[in-house]
Amino acid sequence: MRLFFATLLLCALLLSSSFLEPVIAKSSYCENKCKERCAKAGVKERCIKYCGICCAECKCVPSGTYGNKHQCPCYRDKKNSKGKPKCP
């Protein structure tokens, strides 16, 4: 009986975490961080779009409006189809 409840609890935790991550990524966290990141961008809409994609996948956005990509290696290492940095 204990094994059943332990297994049930483990499954519940795994399921809840998999549903929680997309919610966090699409929450105001990414929106606010990307607006801050793209505040000085020449083409803000495009910057916010790609920043949002990167934030959803990486779950982080470097601080500031430029640079600091060492704070988020996933964000830093994303490349577009031409091999150039994908994330602003």
The model carries a pTM of: 0.67
Residues 61, 28, 81: CA angle, nearest 5 degrees: 45
Ramachandran bin of 62, using left for φ above 0, alpha for ψ from -120 to 50, beta for the remaining angles: beta
Report how many helices (DSSP H) and strands (DSSP E) the chain contains, helices first: 4, 0
Spatial separation of the C-alpha atoms in residues 8 and 30, rounded to whole Å: 32
27 confidence band (pLDDT: 50, 70, 90): low
Higher pLDDT, 7 or 34: 34
What is the pLDDT, as a whole number, of residue 29? 92
Spatial separation of the C-alpha atoms in residues 5 and 2, rounded to whole Å: 5
What is the pLDDT, as a whole number, of residue 87? 96
Residues 38-55 have pLDDT tens digits of: 999 999 999 999 999 999
8 confidence band (pLDDT: 50, 70, 90): low
Residues 55-83 have pLDDT tens digits of: 999 999 999 999 999 999 999 999 999 99
